[in-house]
Amino acid sequence: MRWYSITFVLVIAGILAGQAQANPSNKTLAATMEVYVFPKSGQTATQQSQDEATCYDWATSNVGYDPFELSKQASQQNMETEQQKAEAQQSTRGSGVRGAARGAAAGAVIGEIADDDAGKGAAYGAAAGAVVSRRRAKRAQQEEIQQVEQQGQANQQATQHQVDNFKKAFGVCLEAKDYLVKD
């Protein structure tokens, strides 16, 4: 008899442990959105869950977007911003060579006119052209990266504004159902 009792306790403990692993947080819908809800009229957890689902649907239809989709959109925007920054950093490759070629051509003409030595003029022109071209490219690269970062920040702010609007609508609905709501 005692063997059966121990086995039963171990089986129940295993089941409970498995349930805890399957849903470790047991967060409500509101808590996943960082909206904190307290039932003012003694609503049960089941009733609160139903009310949250109803208010979620109501808020989604009223503001026109789903906050979980907005979260995915924000992640995508971050990835795109980082990709654009990486592309901008690659944009200066070859600028020194192109500048050197242009500088060499100009230097050859000037060298020929100045002292009948096109080779010497081309060498000076190539060096100067490479330096100037690299500086211009670096400055343009920095401006492009700054512009990409500013656009990314603007996108994130717009998305956050939409999430905040959703939370307001969600909270208003829950308050109408007699919950205390804080976000």
Enclosing H/E stretch for 181: strand 179-182
Q: Does a structural domain hold residue 6?
A: no
Give yes or no for a contact between 63 and 134, defined as CB atoms under 8 angstroms apart.
no
Distance separating alpha carbons of residues 151 and 153, to the nearest angstrom: 5
pLDDT 10s digits, 79-121: 888 888 788 777 666 555 655 555 555 554 455 455 555 566 5
> In Å, how far from its chain's centre is CA 82?
9
Most confident region among 119-128, 146-155, 156-165, 172-181 by mean pLDDT: 172-181
Q: What is the mean pLDDT of residues 47-76?
A: 93
CB within 8 Å of 83: residues ≥ 6 apart: none
Question: In Å, how far are 21, 35, 45 from 24, measured between CA atoms?
Answer: 5, 19, 17
Mean pLDDT of 173-179: 96
Residue 1 inside a domain? The answer is no
Is 59 a member of any domain?
yes
21-60 tens-digit pLDDT? 444 457 888 999 999 999 999 999 999 999 999 999 999 9
By CB atoms closer than 10 A (0-12, 13-18, 19+), residue 51 is buried
Q: How many residues does the chain have?
A: 183
For residue 22, is it within any domain?
Answer: no
What's the whole-number average pLDDT of the chain? 75
Domain-located, residue 154: yes
Q: Kindly provide the b/e burial profile for residues 62-72, where b requires at least 16 CB atoms within 10 angstroms of the residue's own CB.
A: ebeebbeebee
pTM: 0.60
Q: Where are the alpha helices (DSSP H) in 23-117?
A: 29-32, 45-63, 67-90, 95-115
Domain range for 121: 28-182
Provide the β-strand partners of residue 130.
none
Domain contains 20: no
Q: What is the radius of gyration, based on Cα positions, of the chain?
A: 32
Q: Is residue 33 part of a domain?
A: yes
- Number of separate domains in the chain: 1
End-to-end CA gap in the chain: 53
